[in-house]
Amino acid sequence: MLTSKLEVLVDFGPKPEQKILDKTINDLKSQDGVKEVIFKDGALMIETTLPSADVLDIVTKTSGKRAVLQGFGDSQSAVAMLSSQSCCSGRVLGVVRFQHTAEGLVCDGAVDGLAEGEHGLHVRHSGDLTEGCQSLGEHFNPHGSPHGAPDDPPSLRHAGDLGNIVADENGRATFRIQDNVLKIWDLIGRSVAVTERRDDLGRGVSPTSKIDGDSGRPVACGIIARSAGIFQNPKRICACDGVVVWDERDRPLAGKGRRKCCEKHDEKRENGTGDAEKPCCKV
């Protein structure tokens, strides 16, 4: 099984307590699927076959500290931030990461807000979000093949066919998929989408089985962009709005509540009592 290298930043403070650090490292090393753990530059480098979301949960529970994924893979990595794009009655959010290796591609992610059960996961032809998830085009299919399963040969599957992910009773799906057809350089600028229903992998009797696995409309999608590998992203604060990396984990992606340090200043500025030119956040 292909391994991934994760850079997990942990809120140990300026001087980590050695007892907690050792406990966290030892607990990680005891997990099936964890190959190596190293502490470097305030972060844990973890080589693993586990989904990154599961690794973050282990680190958080063992250390009692906040943890965020700062880097994924050695190089040639990509990421997509998924959202429902106002397409549905519910709110679906998630992150999907891709890593290129000499042995194949790793697709790793977590999606929240789904209905319990299986949902199709597909790379789509374009990154056009002008009409939300409905304008992404067909499945990425450079070989002109029928829809199929991830383990089918390229002549019997779309390159973008990644099978199904499974949401638990809380609506959360964590997954790690290996693929030998997709290439990281083919993904940048395209999109990835999660569908409302299970993908029948082209084995069904529906007229759309060989088109999209009868998996229904996308309920969340996002554009695939390049991302940082391990120890390639030194950023600890968002220069755009002053949100530090620890607060980023607990803030909405946009809108009210995103910039708490700015709200009072913004309110004064709107009332004509504040300095419009004064930056509202320290960066």
Residues 41 and 25 in one domain: yes
Residues with Cβ < 8 Å from 115, sequence gap 6 or more?
Answer: 167, 171, 196
**Which domain-ending residue is among 20, 48, 72?**
72
Are 145 and 223 in a shared domain? Answer: yes
When divided into structural domains, the chain yields a total of 3
Last residue of one domain, picked from the residues 227, 245, 269: 227
Q: Are residues 62 and 129 in the same domain?
A: no
Summarised one tens digit per residue, pLDDT across range 25-35 is 999 999 999 99
Instruction: Indicate if 240 and 278 belong to the same structural domain.
Output: yes
Q: Verify that 187 and 108 share a domain, yes or no.
A: yes
Q: Based on the number of CB atoms within 10 Å of its own CB, is 240 exposed (0-12), middle (13-18) or buried (19 or more)? A: exposed
Task: Tell me what pLDDT residue 78 has.
Answer: 93
Q: Do residues 261 and 196 both lie within one domain?
A: no
Q: What is the pLDDT of residues 250-262, one digit of tens each?
A: 444 444 444 444 4
223 lies in the same domain as 240? no
d(C-alpha 96, C-alpha 108), whole Å:
6
Do 139 and 123 contact (CB within 8 A), yes or no?
yes
105 sits in which H/E element: strand 104-112
Whole-angstrom Cα distance, residue 27 to residue 24?
A: 5
Low-confidence spans in the chain with pLDDT less than 50: 237-266, 268-270, 276-283
- One domain for residues 83 and 116: yes
pTM above 0.85, yes or no: no
Give the integer Cα–Cα distance in Å for 135 and 125: 10
CATH for 13? 3.30.70.100
Residue where a domain terminates, one of 189, 209, 227: 227
- 94 and 56: one domain? no
Looking at residue 233, its pLDDT comes to 66
Which structural domain, as residue segments, surrounds residue 154?
A: 77-227
pLDDT of residue 85: 75
Do residues 62 and 85 both lie within one domain?
Answer: no
Residue 85: which CATH number?
Answer: 2.60.40.200
Same domain, 101 and 24: no
Same domain, yes or no, for 102 and 210?
yes
pLDDT value at position 274? Answer: 53
